[in-house]
Structure 1
Amino acid sequence: MKERYPVLKEAEPFYFEGGKTGILVVHGFTGSTQSMRPLGEAYADAGYTVCGPRLKGHGTHYEDMEQSTYQEWIASVEEGYEWLKERCEEVFVTGLSMGGTLTLYMAQKYKDIKGIVPINAAVDIPDMSAMEGAAEPRFLDAIGSDIHAEGVQELAYEKTPVRSIGEITALMRTVRAHLSEVTSDALIFVSKVDHVVPPDNSREIFQKISSLKKEIIELDNSYHVATLDHDQSVIIEQTLAFVRRRAQAKKHS
């Protein structure tokens, strides 16, 4: 599928060359790399090699997204993962919303991933499941910018393709069925108030993954797009501490 629209400003993929530890940062459904760039820049400033891929059909126009599939979204993440693998000895993956879903998928498939950080990850959204297979309407209202902080906007589509809802529902169903196959160390962030993904998703993920080392952190002052919200610094600091701990554990093993 060839995208027909140009990539929006601030929606471009980003790459930062750093040390031998890589961090893959994945944006969410209808969103763009803009929602993850502050994290990517902070991780790069800390010396890590960072890749923020743009998911196929995202960051351009919702008509492009309508033509993309969840397999293409997976391929976009895998390309970023391969870019990091060429440069790094170990790779961590973090993602927001559907980016968290894709993070879990990557951990299920690639057992060498050292750690994962899902942020308000989605495995079951009943409102979306109810729309699966619908022919009309073609587009729904936007779901982006669920942010508690005033004056902050997520760069996301103003409409949501119903066809794409079928794609994310299929992806969630696949990932949810295989949660027990996740064995990477996991740091899970969940907003107490989220108007897009029910917080119970993160609690189910925490319970069902097989990771020996796993932790869940509740975010008190952010809505769904927590990476752009009041708790952004908490996510950055805790993620960097998580990565450092994992690197220290490797040194002592």
Structure 2
Amino acid sequence: MKQYDVLEGAEPFIYEGNNVGILVSHGFTGSTQSMKPLGDAYHAAGYTVYGPRLKGHGTHYEDMEQTTYQDWIDSVEEGIAWLKERCETIFVTGLSMGGTLTLYLAEKHPEIKGIIPINAAIDIPAMEGAKDQQEPRFFDAIGSDIKKEGVEELAYDKTPLKSMKEIIKLMALVKDDLSKVTCPALIFMSEEDHVVPPLNSTYILENISSQEKEVISMPNSYHVATLDHDQHLIIEESLKFFQTQLEK
């Protein structure tokens, strides 16, 4: 198996700050580039931030093809472990499959103070057919669903069929355990999303057990909202969310 270098801009990032830690996770076929604006803003506010590069991502799609959903879980679990060594309080946010992993972590770690899933994926009907397919080996890219002109997501230009089968398993796993999520949740949902249907966010809202939960609708962004017109909305509202929860 060929060894691929990490693409420039796709490296994991770690910012040491105060004793409040925030894990930020990118999505399926994407890279840390999609979450870095949030990581930078959170660190500027004083927080400790960990942005993991999910295994098989940020290199080459043939590299991703060799990974499983458990590898992606392990990548964020490593981030949580790193933050726990340094921080008293932990929040988690993620985009797309990063939002799926955010929900997974909340299901497994009730001590997490709050979560912010952004266009989180728990059911993508367009991928359902992949479960029974054996070919083609690669499909067209799903990255860069961005409304803002001139902005590109650093993501793969092909999507491995094997990886699609893996995210389907991950989404089913997380969807089945949504009721185990009890921490406060701030859910961001793009009104027009060409990758993850907005109904995913509605379903999450209705099926998690959190007492404090709300959806913020983003009218001017497509799927990769963290790089789109509503980026400032995500940053402003999430910083407010952190502060509100910390004051309790």
Superposed pair shares fold, TM > 0.5: yes
Partner residue in 2 for 1:8: 7
Q: Is the 8 A contact 1:115 1:184 kept in 2?
A: yes
Q: Deviations over 1:122-160 (max 9, x none)?
A: 000011111113111000000000000000000000000
In the alignment, the residues of structure 1 paired with residue 199 and residue 135 of structure 2 have an alpha-carbon distance, to the nearest angstrom, of 29
Partner residue in 1 for 2:218: 219
TM normalised by structure 1 equals 0.97
- SS of 2:130's partner is coil
In the alignment, the residues of structure 1 paired with residue 120 and residue 12 of structure 2 have an alpha-carbon distance, to the nearest angstrom, of 21
Deviation >3 Å, runs of 4+: none
In the alignment, the residues of structure 2 paired with residue 231 and residue 3 of structure 1 have an alpha-carbon distance, to the nearest angstrom, of 38
Aligned residues: 248
- SS of 1:212's partner is coil
Partner residue in 2 for 1:144: 143
Partner residue in 2 for 1:89: 88
TM normalised by structure 2 equals 0.99
Q: Is the 8 A contact 1:90 1:114 kept in 2?
A: yes
The 1:220–1:69 alpha-carbon spacing in structure 2 relative to 1, beyond 3 Å, is same
Give the letter for the 1:63 counterpart: E
- Indicate whether 1:28 and 2:30 are aligned: no
- SS of 2:169's partner is helix
Partner residue in 2 for 1:134: 133
RMSD between superposed Cα atoms in Å = 0.8
- Matches of residues 229-240 of structure 1 in structure 2 within 5 Å? 229-240=228-239
Q: Is the 8 A contact 1:149 1:230 kept in 2?
A: yes
Unaligned runs of 5+ in 1: none
Structure 1 residue 3 displacement after superposition: 7.2
Partner residue in 2 for 1:118: 117
In the alignment, the residues of structure 2 paired with residue 23 and residue 3 of structure 1 have an alpha-carbon distance, to the nearest angstrom, of 33
Q: Percent identity?
A: 66
Q: Deviations over 1:56-109 (max 9, x none)?
A: 000000000000000000000001111111110010000000000000000000
Give the letter for the 2:210 counterpart: S
Give the letter for the 2:186 counterpart: L
Give the letter for the 2:132 counterpart: G
In the alignment, the residues of structure 2 paired with residue 5 and residue 84 of structure 1 have an alpha-carbon distance, to the nearest angstrom, of 28
In the alignment, the residues of structure 1 paired with residue 112 and residue 166 of structure 2 have an alpha-carbon distance, to the nearest angstrom, of 25
Partner residue in 2 for 1:189: 188
- SS of 1:124's partner is coil
- Indicate whether 1:56 and 2:49 are aligned: no
Q: Is the 8 A contact 1:3 1:57 kept in 2?
A: no
